[in-house]
Amino acid sequence: MNLKERVSAQIHLVNARKIEATSSSRSFITEMKGEYDMVYFKETCLGPKMNFIGCVPMGRMRIVVPMAGSLQLTQANECYSLLPGGSVAVASAYEIENSYLNHEIHFLEIDFQYGSSFAEAQLFNLNNRNVLQSLMDIDASTKLLIGKFDGRMDTTLSVELHAEIFTFILGGVFEVQNRLLQEREGLWLKGTSQIEFEGLAKEGIILFLVKCN
């Protein structure tokens, strides 16, 4: 770490997540408050043959990522069929359908402030291990990255010094900037240009949202 860096950090533990439940779904929400934005990581379990309706507020962007099972997402006149390894940016109102007869599906929604929303689907390949890749192409000032890492693999992510970094662990255990994070835990960071992290479990999956204001 550069001696001029003054790092701010906040850990978000898995047992501190908010829980929302309906007759058809259960959601677990991690809220990360930064200096300029409030970012939400919302994991939802949707029951068999059930639908989920969501709406993106003005001035926000939302990315939907399937985690277990395929999902059907409809918005306006567009319909997307996604498996784990895909993501879709949603605009305004949308509906997610679980077409399985006997199985839940799990998906993650990432919600953050953004000047304009757009609808687009994108694929990523987690078979490419030990490297971060784009989860969704947004713009030069907002990066959404994901990677699957083997245990004891040290990696460094370089960012702008003034950037805010929102980290979320999708699977496994990681050490990020000397802080231990379990599955479904998060970390907000600001004031560093080098993010050092290490996977401590086989096939751990980590996600970074990097925002330069």
- Please give the tally of structural domains in the chain: 2
Place of tokens 């533990």: 13
Residues 155 and 193 in one domain: yes
Residues 114 and 23 in one domain: yes
Q: Looking at 88, 122, 156, which one is the last position of a domain?
A: 122
Q: Does the pLDDT of residue 91 top 80, yes or no?
A: no
- Does the residue 3 lie in any domain? no
Q: Looking at 122, 147, 163, which one is the last position of a domain?
A: 122
Which sign does the torsion angle of CA 74, 77, 81, 82 carry?
Answer: negative
Residue 28 belongs to a domain with what CATH number? 2.60.120.10
Residues 92 and 135 in one domain: no
Task: Specify the pLDDT at position 23.
Answer: 95
- Does the residue 1 lie in any domain? no
Q: Which helix (H) or strand (E) holds 68?
A: strand 60-68
- The percent of residues in the chain predicted with pLDDT above 70, rounded, is 96
Q: In terms of residue numbers, what domain contains 59?
A: 16-122
Place of tokens 């947004």: 138
% helix / strand / coil in the chain, to the nearest 5? 0, 60, 40
Per-residue pLDDT reduced to its tens digit, 99-129: 999 999 999 999 998 876 677 788 888 888 8
Task: Specify the pLDDT at position 138.
Answer: 86
Beta strand 174-176 with 179-181 is: antiparallel
Task: Specify the pLDDT at position 117.
Answer: 65
Task: Specify the pLDDT at position 155.
Answer: 95
Residues 145 and 200 in one domain: yes
The phi and psi torsions of 18 (rounded to 5 degrees) equal -75, 150
Residues 78 and 152 in one domain: no
Mean pLDDT of 71-81: 90
Q: Looking at 122, 148, 177, which one is the last position of a domain?
A: 122
List CB contacts of 73: < 8 A, sequence separation 6 or more.
64, 79, 80, 81, 82, 88, 90, 94, 95, 96, 97
Residues 68 and 47 in one domain: yes
Half-sphere exposure of 94 (CA within 13 A, CB side): 26
Instruction: Give the whole-angstrom CA distance, residue 198 versus residue 113.
Output: 28
| DSSP state at residue 60 | E
Residues 93 and 57 in one domain: yes
Residues 116 and 58 in one domain: yes
- Does the residue 155 lie in any domain? yes
